[in-house]
């Protein structure tokens, strides 16, 4: 994913190093007629198509295999566009950062809508995951602007790992959309999305707290202003 002009990328996921080497190789072999905009568009279309496949799988289960293929194509386009721009020295950091985030926001909405339409997740749980995801996305964008640090992964887990987990879950749906926990039969993706929502929300709270504290240390209130404010609150001394 492209970055903004003054930011530092923080990407420490499990597959980050191997993925970076692979992407650089792929970028070096990409035909000259293909540019980063083509790859961005390909990734966006693939994500929308994955949502359609999940919805279609309610009546045609093999569509789940197509959804997995769409996730792979989404990885290819979404991960390679920024690398290709950097390798060719054609970087447009502000444009790329903005467009990628807008498309990601729309893409995850379509993906979850497809899961709900296909009967693989309940609306309330999907909405909870989407809300948590958007909160973290907003926090990342704000931290990028305020601190110049663009964090792509948390707890060794990033977009690529999320796609792999989603692909494995999709293949499991071919066997059964249900899972049993403590004698209760629940939708597999309800379990996964609920756990994901909790994890993302906790990550958001921790990250927001840390970044707020860091910004406060960088921009503290003047001592005189703090003392004057405290005296004003205390009122006149009798």
What angle do the packed helices 93-117 and 36-56 form, to 10 degrees? 10
Range 88-109 average pLDDT: 95
Proportion of the chain above pLDDT 90, given as a percent: 85
CB 53 within 8 A of CB 170: no
Q: Per-residue pLDDT averaged across 86-104, rounded? A: 94
125-152 residue pLDDT tens: 999 999 999 999 999 999 999 999 999 9
pLDDT for the residue numbered 231: 58
Using the predicted structure, report yes or no on whether residue 224 has a pLDDT greater than 70: no
Please compute the mean of the pLDDT values over residues 218-225 and round it to a whole number.
Answer: 81
pLDDT digits (tens, 9 = 90+) for 8-24: 888 899 999 999 999 99
Helix (H) or strand (E) holding 140: helix 123-147
By the 10 Å C-beta count (0-12 exposed, 13-18 middle, 19+ buried), 235 is classed as: exposed
Residue 76 has pLDDT above 50, yes or no: yes
Domain extent listing, the chain: 8-232
Report which of residues 2 and 171 the model is more confident about.
171
- Tell me if residue 139 falls in helix, strand or coil: helix
Question: Which two tokens mark 200?
Answer: 């993302």
Average pLDDT of 231-236? 64
How confident is the model over 111-136, as a mean pLDDT? 98
**Could you confirm whether domain 8-232 is CATH 1.20.120.1760?**
yes
- When pLDDT is cut at 50, 70 and 90, the band that residue 230 belongs to is low
Q: Binning pLDDT at 50, 70 and 90, where does residue 114 land?
A: very high
pLDDT higher than threshold 60 for residue 6:
no
């Amino acid at each position: 994913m492209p970055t903004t002009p003054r930011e530092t990328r923080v990407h420490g996921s499990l597959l980050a190093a191997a993925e970076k080497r692979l992407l650089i190789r792929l970028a070096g072999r990409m035909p000259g007629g293909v540019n980063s905009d083509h790859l961005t568009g390909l990734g966006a279309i693939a994500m929308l198509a994955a949502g359609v496949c999940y919805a279609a799988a309610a009546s045609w289960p093999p569509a789940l295999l197509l959804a997995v293929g769409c996730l792979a194509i989404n990885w290819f386009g979404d991960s390679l566009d920024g690398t290709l721009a950097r390798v060719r020295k054609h970087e447009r950091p502000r444009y790329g950062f903005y467009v990628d985030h807008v498309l990601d926001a729309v893409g995850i909405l379509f993906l979850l809508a497809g899961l709900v339409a296909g009967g693989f997740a309940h609306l309330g749980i999907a909405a909870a995951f989407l809300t948590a995801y958007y909160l973290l996305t907003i926090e990342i964008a704000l931290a990028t602007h305020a601190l110049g640090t663009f964090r792509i992964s948390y707890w060794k887990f990033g977009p690529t790992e999320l796609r792999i987990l989603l692909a494995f879950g999709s293949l499991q749906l071919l066997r059964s959309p249900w899972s049993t926990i403590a004698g209760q039969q629940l939708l597999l993706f309800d379990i996964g999305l609920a756990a994901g929502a909790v994890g993302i929300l906790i990550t958001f709270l921790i990250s927001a707290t840390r970044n707020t504290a860091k910004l406060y240390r960088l921009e503290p209130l003047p001592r005189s202003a703090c003392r004057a404010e405290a005296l004003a609150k205390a009122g006149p001394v009798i």
